[in-house]
Amino acid sequence: MDEDGSTPDTQRDQSADERLLEELLISGLSDWVSLAEVQRLISHLQLADTDKERQELTLSAIRSLLEAGHMQIGELPGPDEGFQAWEPIEVAMDRLRERFVDHYGAPASWDYSIWLGLTDTGRPVAEALRVE
């Protein structure tokens, strides 16, 4: 805590990051997670106040999930194709920034065109969170 008894921003941010990570993993147990769902979770859980904070939280959480190998990001495949994950991580993050942050004011261009999916490594982590 700061001298005035408040929580420093970094602790608040870390808590918001952790909460969003957990919720995304749990959501991934049911289905693919759209970027629209990520934004809905941020709003519902009141994890960010401004558009800039929402964007930073989204990018930070997704990077953490990708680096941990718990989720992949990409576009949903056609009927006869597998999920085409954006790789490597830096390419995925650049593409996410370009499509999400640079076009934030036009959610129809990203809300249901960018998806997250659990990996084999992420599934047991998500299942453990669901039973807590």
> How much is the pLDDT for 4?
41
10-131 maps to which CATH number?
1.10.3510
Q: Which residue has the tokens 């989204």?
A: 58
* Confidence check: pLDDT of 94 > 50: yes
What CA–CA distance (Å, rounded) separates 122 from 124? 6
Sign, Cα dihedral of 45, 46, 47, 52 = positive
- Upstream peptide bond of 88 is cis (omega within 30 degrees of 0): yes
**Under 8 Å between Cβ of 119 and 85:** no
Q: Distance between CA atoms of 42 and 95, rounded to whole angstroms?
A: 21
Q: Give the global pTM.
A: 0.85
Q: Report the range of poorest mean pLDDT among 5-9, 11-15, 34-38.
A: 5-9
CA distance 54 to 79: 32
**Alpha-carbon gap, residue 38 to 4, rounded angstroms:** 33
Secondary structure of residue 34 in the 3-state scheme? strand
* pLDDT-derived band at 14, boundaries 50, 70, 90: low
Residue 5 has pLDDT above 50, yes or no: no
> Does the pLDDT value for residue 77 go beyond 50?
yes
Average pLDDT, the chain: 89
Under a CB-based contact definition with an 8 Å cutoff, are residues 39 and 45 in contact? Answer: no
Lowest mean pLDDT among 9-23, 78-92, 112-126: 9-23
pLDDT given for residue 7 in this prediction? 41
